Each structure stands twice: as C-alpha cells, then as structure tokens.
Chains A and B, each alone.
Chain A
Amino acid sequence: AQSVTQPDIHITVSEGASLELRCNYSYGATPYLFWYVQSPGQGLQLLLKYFSGDTLVQGIKGFEAEFKRSQSSFNLRKPSVHWSDAAEYFCAVGAFRRGSYIPTFGRGTSLIVHP
C-alpha cells in the first residue's frame, strides 16, 4: 500500500528566508505526487503536481518541488517565504484505482513564519 511521510510536524522560518518541506513516499509503481496547502479554517488547495517528465515542478505562489526517485522524495521549496505562506502543507501520493489517482496524504507540516 502507498504511504507518505512528512518527517517535520512544525517548521519555523523567518520571513524572507528560504524554505524546504520534506516528503518521502512509498509506492510500488510510478508515483503521482502532489503538494497541497491548507490555510486555517479552509479546504485544501493544490500547489503543484508531478506526473512525469521534468523532475523539477513549478507550482503556484512561487513554490517548486523536486522529484527524486532514488530517494523516494518530493520536497517542496520556496526561495523567499512571505508571512502569508503560514499554513499547513500536505504531501500526497496518488494510487490508481477506479480510473483515477486517489491521493493518500501525509500527516502535514505546519509552517510558522516569523516577521
């Protein structure tokens, strides 16, 4: 069965600093990988996704993620964090079932941004 590990429960960065959120996955076939962001009291919003091709994926809000098959990782990065980036971030791996890729989510990483 597929699984996702986000080893950091909380990450604290200063505004303007760079950010990297870690994600490791386990899946037997070619992984379909996603990063979602959740602001307080809101639903989840897709930041970016990887299906195939270029292993460096660009997303919305200045985020990018790099797929590394050898490390089973899909880490999320941003060169300069803004206070509005404070939120919960979820990595997910999609398993193919019933004609669609059903995401299995990690437990999330809470990003705290200091001014």
Chain B
Amino acid sequence: DAGITQSPRYKITETGRQVTLMCHQTWSHSYMFWYRQDLGHGLRLIYYSAAADITDKGEVPDGYVVSRSKTENFPLTLESATRSQTSVYFCASTQDRSQLGYTFGSGTRLTVV
C-alpha cells in the first residue's frame, strides 16, 4: 500500500537491549524524520535525513542511531534502551523544502521495562 508505514505498532523491551523501529515510505520522498512524543513535551525531533546517506541530529539524539541506505527506509535504533526512552515514536516524510507533503506515520508505542 502507498504511504508511510511504521513497524512495529507496539513494542515492549527490556532495559539495555537494542531495538530498531522501522519506517518505510512509498513516495520516494527526499526528507524523512523521527520524532518522539511525550506527555507535556509535544513532539521532539530526534534525527532527520535530507536524502540517502545524509542524516542530521535533531533536538534529542542521544541514545539513538539512524541510517538511510535507501531512500524509502529510515530505521531508528536504540542501542541500549533505557526507561526514559519509553515514548511514542513518529516517523514523517516530505518531498521538498515547501513542506507541502509532510506526512506522518501512525506511530510506534515503545515501552522499556
């Protein structure tokens, strides 16, 4: 199906484990983003990517790693999960600087126990 897909929708993991959240878009959008959403904080940018193999840190990048080997995929990895990383994670994409096509995925709810 066309669109932006995040997987899994829900994930429970233990402290210290590595976990990867997947994001896939079918439009070949250049720009992709990862945000986390926490009560009282709104959405905060973790990482973004302007194209394949180009990534930049956002507001809260510590403890996260991203890669973008293919335009359509933008996985987010928590190298050693901590309880403070319990959150809802949103992926988004847009084609160009005009932000006309800024589209969000449905989110991944991650719980670190």
Point out residues on A near B: beta carbons under 8 Å: 6, 32, 34, 41-46, 49, 51, 90, 94, 96-108
Contacts and interface: CB of A to CB of B under 8 A. Distances in A.
A41 B98 CA distance: 27
A98 B50 contact: yes
Contacts of A99: 50, 97
Contacts of A46: 102
Interface of B: 30-31, 33, 35, 40-45, 48, 50, 54, 56, 58-59, 90, 92, 94, 96-99, 102, 104-107
A100 B105 contact: no
A102 B105 contact: no
Contacts of B96: 100
A30 to B, nearest CB: 13
Contacts of B104: 43-45
Given A98-B48, A98-B50, A90 B43 contact: yes
